[in-house]
Structure 1
Amino acid sequence: MSEQQADFETRARAAAFALREVFEPTPLVLNPFLSARYEAEIWLKREDLSPVRSYKIRGAFNAMRHAIADGTTRFVCASAGNHAQGVAYAARHFGVTATVFMPVTTPQQKIEKTRVFGEEAVEIRLTGDYFDDTLTAAQAYCAETGAHFLSPFDDEDVILGQASVALEVLDQMEGAPDLFVLPVGGGGLSSGMRAVLKTAAPGAGMILAEPAGGASLAAALVAGAPVTLDSVDSFVDGAAVARIGAKTFQILEDVPMRDVFAVPEDRICTTILEMLNHEGIVLEPAGALPVDVLKDLGTRIRGKRVVVVTSGGNFDFERLPEVKERAMRSAGVKKYYLLRMPQRPGALRDFLELLGPDDDIARFEYLKKSARNFGTVLIGIETSAAENFERLESALNAGGFTFQDITADETLAEFVI
């Protein structure tokens, strides 16, 4: 054990102890449903049950207490979600002020939650349509006022605060688990836990899951340094980061690629619904991400003791229709077609007769008449089993209908669905 590693664990334990000022350790709960499914001992570290329903309070609290010790009383952050709420909660606790910059497009629910957590201690400024614009405005404000910028992940004190998750787990169970499974976005949680486990539980493995549309860690591992992704799917907003942190990557740079998994966003939706319906657990997309990746681990977890960090539960239920839609598409039980419909009496009836007993029309819309005798129809179909679409498409071909499956065509679907 190096002196630097020992020092990191000592400081992480100090951060964990300080956190007891504001909340007790989050629960570590054995989950029988997941354990039976994967033939393993699956424990959930319920960070979704922290005071702000995510682990982000840990890093914000620890970074803020150190800055206050150095004389800082004014803080700034840029965030549209969990980090903003953690900063707001910590600012109110310490009796300091925080200016939270959020994109203009931030849902009202998140703005109100940040305001509730911070009360008079927090000023919210809505700036920019995109997060990069918001971040630029926040950093410019810091330069003008001399306020302290609280990074959501790329800060040593934030990393130390997030490391407290691992230390709590070790205190809550007898002996270390065989494996930790957690999400990775900017890298604050994963780097903190990895650094402290090197000394506190060197035999414990770690699986890192990132959204397929924001796989910044995998890109950095391939390049050997942080790189900026050309585009990011923001659906998993708690982990969809275009560029992993420089400080966090210094800790993660030797993570084996076999331990990093990219998880499809649509598939995560099936897990959000499953955990809600089967277990009554509300998880945001980033919180469901490490639960979902268990599907990819197979024999690597069978018979093992596994701790899954459910990192957040700030789910806006206005997103539920979108989650259901994406889950059905992931499961292959919902598809969208562009169908060329003959403009003659009985054509619609002929089409309807091709549908099976479990096929339901979820959407039917004439888009245009492409010719005098034909019209283009957007049709959405839901069914009970994915294989039903093979039968339907065969029947459409046999019936002389011209059609195009646009379910996976993101560009086209964006305009017509």
Structure 2
Amino acid sequence: MTLHIQTPLLESGAMSAPRGQIVWLKMEAMQPPGSFKIRGIGHACEEYVRRGATRFISSSGGNAGIAAAYAGRRLGVPVLVVVPETTTERAKQLIRREGAEVVVHGASFQEANALAQSMVTPADAFIHPFDDPLLWQGHASMIDEVAAAGIKPDAVVLSVGGGGLMCGVIEGLRRNRWESVPVVAVETQGADSLSKALKAGQLIELPGITSIATSLGARKVALQAFEWARQYGVRSEVVSDQAAVDACVRFMDDHRVVVEPACGAALAVAYDAPTLLGGYENVLVIVCGGVTATVTQLEKWADDGV
């Protein structure tokens, strides 16, 4: 038994083009903790328990901490999550609801992550939100499910924060011998560390995160994400916060599912697929989910402009 569920793969009538292009949605927002994170984090947590871990310590801006807390509760292992000061009250509440302890530290994820790592003892397992090969192995299972459904995409569209989802998707494409399938990696302006690294030809660290898509708020992507992005010719796209929020609201109307702006980044490209992805017949969009934004917050952002 795994801690994640097999999620629906849906054809989107709202996004698919009338001239034959089909947009498929991998509905990771339907995972029990609300995001794709449980695939990799659940896999890692199960493995660390097999290795003898008696506590999980996680660093997170939100969704990874929720997934770690959920995994710990299901496995009967105590969890401590260190979050930065920018983490929303809703995210902290959801982590605590799963029975985990929350420590708030630092102005950004980097400070929270450093404290979390310093607290790890030999009896603990450190659960990184995106930079761990065990996570990528777990995330890859979503591509296994797409392959099992008999659908081979011509392109995969996904959001990028620290790069864990992208590494997992590429791992899944590799193990299904789909290395030739292109990946379109989408970020929001102000959280576009991958885009800037690819343009610079080297890993770079943003001075800060100015996007409202805080789940994409890694100032520097994982080294493996950067290297694979270059190796596989990942196409980078950057959208505005407003485009991401508008896509979330539109997706809520079209598909009756609430996601946060971090997921809305990929949805914004998907909604413009006939223009941005015109050469592909079967487009797979990873609806990564996220539960740190409410309907009220999305509507306020949409009404006020961001």
Q: SS at the partner of 1:230?
A: coil
Q: SS at the partner of 1:213?
A: coil
The alpha carbon displacement at 1:299 in A equals 6.4
Equivalent of 1:125 in 98, 103, 124: 103
**Where does residue 206 of structure 2 map in the other structure?**
229
Is 1:325 paired with 2:306?
Answer: no
Q: SS at the partner of 1:34?
A: coil
**Where does residue 65 of structure 1 map in the other structure?**
46
Output the aligned Cα RMSD.
Answer: 2.3
Give the whole-Å Cα distance in 2 for the aligned partners of 1:91 and 1:285: 27
Q: Residue 104 and residue 211 in structure 1: after superposition, are their counterparts in 2 closer, same or farther (change >3 A)?
A: closer
Q: Residue 202 and residue 191 in structure 1: after superposition, are their counterparts in 2 closer, same or farther (change >3 A)?
A: same
The structure, 1 or 2, with the larger RCO (C-alpha pairs under 8 Å, 6+ apart) is 2
**Where does residue 282 of structure 2 map in the other structure?**
305
The alpha carbon displacement at 1:104 in A equals 4.1
Give the whole-Å Cα distance in 2 for the aligned partners of 1:62 and 1:252: 24
Q: SS at the partner of 1:214?
A: coil
Give the whole-Å Cα distance in 1 for the aligned partners of 2:236 and 2:59: 27
Equivalent of 1:160 in 137, 145, 148: 137
Map 1:348-367 onto structure 2 (within 5 A): none
The alpha carbon displacement at 1:302 in A equals 5.6
The structure with the larger Rg is 1
Give the whole-Å Cα distance in 2 for the aligned partners of 1:323 and 1:37: 31
The alpha carbon displacement at 1:326 in A equals 5.4
CA deviation string 1:40-79 (max 9, x = no partner): 2111111000001100011111111222222111211111
Give the whole-Å Cα distance in 2 for the aligned partners of 1:96 and 1:212: 38
Residues 185 and 240, structure 1, Cα contact 8 Å, conserved in 2:
yes
- How many pairs are equivalent? 303
Unpaired segments ≥5 residues, structure 1: 1-19, 330-417
Equivalent of 1:82 in 63, 75, 79: 63
The alpha carbon displacement at 1:190 in A equals 0.6
Residues 245 and 298, structure 2, Cα contact 8 Å, conserved in 1:
no
Residues 4 and 38, structure 2, Cα contact 8 Å, conserved in 1:
no
**Where does residue 49 of structure 1 map in the other structure?**
30
Give the whole-Å Cα distance in 2 for the aligned partners of 1:241 and 1:51: 24
Give the whole-Å Cα distance in 1 for the aligned partners of 2:64 and 2:48: 17
The alpha carbon displacement at 1:320 in A equals 2.8
**Where does residue 189 of structure 1 map in the other structure?**
165
Is 1:210 paired with 2:191?
Answer: no
Q: SS at the partner of 1:261?
A: strand
Q: SS at the partner of 1:210?
A: strand
Q: Residue 41 and residue 296 in structure 1: after superposition, are their counterparts in 2 closer, same or farther (change >3 A)?
A: closer
Give the whole-Å Cα distance in 2 for the aligned partners of 1:249 and 1:76: 26
The alpha carbon displacement at 1:325 in A equals 3.4
Is 1:100 paired with 2:75?
Answer: no
Map 1:273-288 onto structure 2 (within 5 A): 273-288=249-264
Residues 235 and 265, structure 1, Cα contact 8 Å, conserved in 2:
yes
The alpha carbon displacement at 1:316 in A equals 2.4
**Where does residue 142 of structure 1 map in the other structure?**
120
The alpha carbon displacement at 1:105 in A equals 4.6
The alpha carbon displacement at 1:195 in A equals 2.6
Residues 159 and 248, structure 1, Cα contact 8 Å, conserved in 2:
no
Give the whole-Å Cα distance in 2 for the aligned partners of 1:63 and 1:109: 25
Equivalent of 2:237 in 248, 261, 268: 261
CA deviation string 1:210-255 (max 9, x = no partner): 1121111122223333210123224112223210012333322324
Q: Residue 37 and residue 265 in structure 1: after superposition, are their counterparts in 2 closer, same or farther (change >3 A)?
A: farther
Q: SS at the partner of 1:72?
A: coil
**Where does residue 270 of structure 1 map in the other structure?**
246
Residues 177 and 307, structure 1, Cα contact 8 Å, conserved in 2:
yes
The one-letter code matched in structure 1 to 2:104 is L
Normalising to structure 2: TM-score of the pair?
0.90
Unpaired segments ≥5 residues, structure 2: none
Give the whole-Å Cα distance in 1 for the aligned partners of 2:276 and 2:88: 41
Q: Residue 297 and residue 242 in structure 1: after superposition, are their counterparts in 2 closer, same or farther (change >3 A)?
A: farther
Give the whole-Å Cα distance in 1 for the aligned partners of 2:157 and 2:216: 14
CA deviation string 1:237-290 (max 9, x = no partner): 222321001233332232436x11111111112111111233322111111111
Q: SS at the partner of 1:289?
A: helix
The alpha carbon displacement at 1:309 in A equals 0.6
Give the whole-Å Cα distance in 1 for the aligned partners of 2:242 and 2:85: 26
Normalising to structure 1: TM-score of the pair?
0.67
- Looking at secondary structure, tell me which structure has more helix per residue: 1
